[in-house]
C-alpha cells in the first residue's frame, strides 16, 4: 500500500508539472510586442511604409508591432543593431538594397555581414527610378538620347545625389549597357541635382519617381524612360528602358523585412506569412502609389533569396567596373 501511494504521488506530481508547464510550451508566437527597426528619420516614404506595415502586422499577428527609428551612417547603425539582436523573431529590420546589397560592397569598415547576419523575409516595395533629361536636349526617348550622346562622347554631363548612391549606380549601369560616355557631376542632395538639370548644367539624371514626377508634370524636365520591368501607372506613356531597345534592363531601389539569420524557422515563417497577407491587401498597395512606391506581389523564401542575389550581382558588377569605394 505504501509503495502504491508513492507511485500515485509521483504520478500526480508529474501531472501537475506537465499542466503547469503547458501554457509556456504552447504559447503562440508572438506573445509580446515585436520591434521594427527603421534606419531612416520619421516622415519620409520609407518611414511611412514602415508605420503602415507595422500597424497592419499588429492586426495579423494579434500583437503590437512597434516602429523604432534608428537613422545614421547610411542605414548601417540600425543594421548593426539588428544583426546583434537576439534572433528570436521579436526584432525586425526595414531592409533595403542600401543595407543588404550596396553598403557591404561600398564600405570596407562595416560592422555586419548582410549575407551571414540576415535573412530577408520579404521584398515589400520597390521605389522606381525614372530617367529624366533637360528640356533642351533634342531627344524625347531613351534611344534618341543614346544616339545623341554617342555623337558627342565626353561632352554631356549627368547629375546624381552623391557617389555610391543607387541613383549614380543606376546611371553607370545605363552607361555600361548603352556604351555612352557622359561625365558624372555629384551634388549634395536631390534639390541641387535637379536644379542643375533644369539649368542645363547637366543633361541627364536618374531619379526616384517621387521627386521628379512633379517637375515632369510641370514640363520643367522630361521623362525619357523608367527603369522598372513594367510601365508605371503614374507615367503610363513613358516606356521602360527595356522597351527602348535594351531588353532585360531593370534597376530599382527596394524596401523589405529582414530578421537575424539565426531566427528559428517557425517564427520566421509566421512573420513572412503575416507580411505577405498585408502586401496582398488592395488598399495597402494603392496607398503608396502617390509616394512612388510599388508594392510587390508576395514572394516565397526561395524567390526572395534569388531577388536579393540578382540585385547583388547587378550592382556588384557596376561597383567593381567603376572601382567605387566610400571609405
Q: Domain ranges in the chain?
A: 34-127+253-322, 128-226
d(CA 304, CA 268): 13
Q: What are the beta bridge partners of residue 34? A: 65
d(CA 153, CA 151): 6
pLDDT of residue 27: 72
Phi-psi label, residue 81: left if phi above 0, alpha if psi -120 to 50, beta otherwise: alpha
Q: Residue 298: CB partners within 8 Å, gap ≥ 6?
A: 122, 275, 276, 279, 280
pLDDT of residue 8: 43
* Backbone φ, ψ for residue 13 (5° rounding): -65, -45
pLDDT of residue 229: 87
Region 128-226: CATH code = 3.40.190.10
- The single residue listed with the C-alpha cell 506581389 is 297
> What top-level class would CATH report for the domain 34-127+253-322?
alpha beta
pLDDT of residue 26: 54
0.75 surpassed by pTM: yes
10-residue mean pLDDT profile of the chain (327 residues): values are 46 46 65 96 90 98 97 93 97 96 93 96 95 97 96 96 89 93 93 96 94 94 94 92 92 95 97 98 89 90 96 92 85
pLDDT of residue 85: 97
Amino acid at each position: 500500500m505504501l509503495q502504491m501511494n508513492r507511485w500515485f504521488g509521483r504520478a500526480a506530481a508529474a501531472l501537475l508539472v506537465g499542466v503547469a508547464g503547458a501554457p509556456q510550451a504552447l504559447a503562440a508566437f508572438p506573445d509580446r510586442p515585436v520591434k521594427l527597426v527603421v534606419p531612416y528619420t520619421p516622415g519620409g516614404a520609407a518611414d511611412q511604409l514602415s508605420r503602415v506595415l507595422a500597424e497592419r502586422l499588429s492586426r495579423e499577428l494579434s500583437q503590437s508591432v512597434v516602429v523604432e527609428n534608428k537613422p545614421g551612417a547610411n542605414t548601417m547603425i540600425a543594421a548593426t543593431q539588428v544583426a546583434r539582436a537576439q534572433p528570436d523573431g521579436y526584432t525586425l529590420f526595414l531592409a533595403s538594397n542600401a543595407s543588404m546589397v550596396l553598403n557591404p560592397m561600398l564600405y570596407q569598415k562595416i560592422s555586419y555581414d548582410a549575407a551571414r547576419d540576415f535573412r530577408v523575409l520579404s521584398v515589400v516595395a520597390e521605389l522606381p527610378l525614372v530617367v529624366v533629361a533637360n528640356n533642351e536636349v533634342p531627344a524625347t526617348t531613351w534611344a534618341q538620347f543614346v544616339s545623341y550622346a554617342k555623337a558627342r562622347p565626353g561632352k554631356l554631363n549627368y547629375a546624381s545625389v552623391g557617389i555610391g548612391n543607387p541613383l549614380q549606380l543606376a546611371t553607370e549601369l545605363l552607361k555600361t549597357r548603352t556604351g555612352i560616355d557622359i561625365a558624372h557631376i555629384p551634388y549634395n542632395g536631390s534639390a541641387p541635382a535637379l536644379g542643375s538639370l533644369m539649368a542645363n548644367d547637366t543633361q541627364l539624371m536618374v531619379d526616384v519617381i517621387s521627386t521628379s514626377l512633379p517637375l515632369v508634370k510641370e514640363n520643367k524636365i522630361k521623362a525619357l524612360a523608367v527603369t522598372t520591368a513594367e510601365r508605371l501607372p503614374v507615367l503610363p506613356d513613358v516606356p521602360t528602358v527595356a522597351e527602348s531597345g535594351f531588353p532585360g534592363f531593370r534597376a530599382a531601389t527596394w524596401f523589405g523585412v529582414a530578421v537575424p539569420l539565426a531566427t528559428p524557422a517557425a517564427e520566421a515563417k509566421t512573420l513572412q506569412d503575416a507580411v505577405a497577407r498585408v502586401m496582398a491587401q488592395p488598399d495597402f498597395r494603392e496607398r503608396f502609389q502617390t509616394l512612388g512606391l510599388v508594392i510587390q506581389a508576395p514572394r516565397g523564401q526561395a524567390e526572395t533569396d534569388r531577388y536579393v542575389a540578382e540585385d547583388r550581382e547587378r550592382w556588384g558588377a557596376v561597383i567593381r567596373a567603376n572601382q567605387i569605394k566610400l571609405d
